[in-house]
């Protein structure tokens, strides 16, 4: 006897039926996801903060110690790029600009990062030595803001750090005229090859590349709290070298 329609359906192997069903479910999920993306408004995005608190009783009196306490926690919890910070500079017209760099040293003398002195930030710092930094540790709902005057690190300090960088980064410091227009990526790659051939394994530090140290006169530590009632402690440097500490309204 020939197979009936019902019987024909049942001869489709079980695995294939499940795969067809999985495919349909996946398609429906994708449609739902695209729909959610399409209807989510930026203004609807919000989050309540509740991970931790910052109070005067437990905060360090010294802002550098407070920074390291938070930074160590960020390291321990393996927060991505914990040393990444925003650097804000101001040009000669008073127009601010920001970018992210990696902090390489933080101690009583200040916060150090390395870059190209002829870059946009370098040119702006040459005309206005005041800058602001900001660390944002999203997972810990924490921000550290720092303000102060910026100076170049000594040639010895810049040399020592330059030597510690991977070879490709040292060659890159020669190859990239940071912040200048460039006609194509191929030009950049060709320049890197050219400098690689010229210097081999021991490229010297380019004269236009080195460190900056922001010497802070103000630190702010921000801890997200529930209902937007955040904690903010600001430390200000006094003329006798001590720090005052004050709570700010969120």
Q: Which residue has the tokens 């702010």?
A: 220
Helix 185-199 to helix 167-175 angle (10° resolution) is: 120
Q: Please, what is the minimum distance in Å from the beta carbon of residue 134 to ligand FMN? A: 13
- Name the residue nearer to ligand FMN (CB basis): 52 or 179: 179
Q: Please, what is the minimum distance in Å from the beta carbon of residue 52 to ligand FMN? A: 24
Cα torsion angle, 192, 209, 79, 73, sign? positive
- Name the residue nearer to ligand FMN (CB basis): 97 or 246: 97
- Name the residue nearer to ligand FMN (CB basis): 46 or 95: 95
- Name the residue nearer to ligand FMN (CB basis): 60 or 165: 165
Active site residue 247: no
Q: End-to-end distance of the chain based on CA atoms, in angstroms?
A: 81
- Name the residue nearer to ligand FMN (CB basis): 135 or 195: 135
Q: Please, what is the minimum distance in Å from the beta carbon of residue 154 to ligand FMN? A: 18
Could you list the residues that contact ligand FMN (CB under 6 A)? 81, 84, 97, 99-102, 113-115, 119-121, 178-179
DSSP for 87-152, written as a single string: EEEE-TTS-EEEEEEE--EEETTEEEEEEETTSHHHHHHHH--EEEEEEEEGGGTEEEEEEEEEEE
Side-chain half-sphere CA neighbours of 107 within 13 A: 3
Q: Please, what is the minimum distance in Å from the beta carbon of residue 118 to ligand FMN? A: 9
- CA dihedral 187→193→199→200, nearest 10 degrees, is 170
Q: Please, what is the minimum distance in Å from the beta carbon of residue 232 to ligand FMN? A: 25
d(CA 134, CA 220): 9
DSSP for 137-166, written as a single string: EGGGTEEEEEEEEEEEPPHHHHHHHHHHS-
From 19, 198, 228, 247, active-site residue: 228
Structure tokens at 168: 């490709």
Residues classed as catalytic: 228
């Amino acid at each position: 006897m020939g197979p009936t329609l019902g019987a024909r359906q049942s001869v489709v192997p079980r695995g294939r039926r499940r795969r067809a069903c999985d495919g349909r479910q996946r398609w429906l999920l994708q449609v739902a996801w695209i729909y959610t993306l399409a209807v989510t408004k930026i203004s609807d995005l919000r989050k309540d903060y509740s991970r931790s608190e910052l109070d005067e009783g437990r905060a360090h009196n010294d802002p550098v110690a407070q920074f390291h306490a938070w930074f160590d926690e960020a390291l321990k919890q393996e927060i991505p790029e914990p040393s990444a910070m925003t650097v804000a500079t101001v040009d000669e017209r008073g127009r601010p600009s920001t970018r992210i760099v990696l902090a390489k040293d933080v101690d009583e003398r200040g916060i150090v990062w390395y870059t190209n002195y002829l870059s946009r930030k370098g040119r702006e710092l040459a005309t206005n030595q005041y800058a602001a930094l900001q660390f944002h540790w999203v997972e810990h709902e924490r921000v550290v803001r720092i303000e102060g005057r910026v100076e170049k690190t000594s040639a010895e300090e810049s040399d020592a750090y330059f030597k510690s960088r991977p070879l490709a980064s040292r060659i890159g410091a020669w190859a990239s005229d940071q912040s200048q227009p460039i006609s194509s990526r191929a030009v950049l790659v060709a320049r890197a090859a050219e400098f690689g051939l010229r210097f081999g394994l021991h490229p010297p530090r380019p004269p236009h590349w080195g460190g900056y140290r922001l010497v802070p006169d103000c630190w702010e530590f921000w801890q997200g709290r529930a209902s937007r009632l955040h904690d903010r402690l600001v430390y200000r440097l006094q003329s006798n070298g001590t720090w005052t500490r004050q709570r700010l309204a969120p």
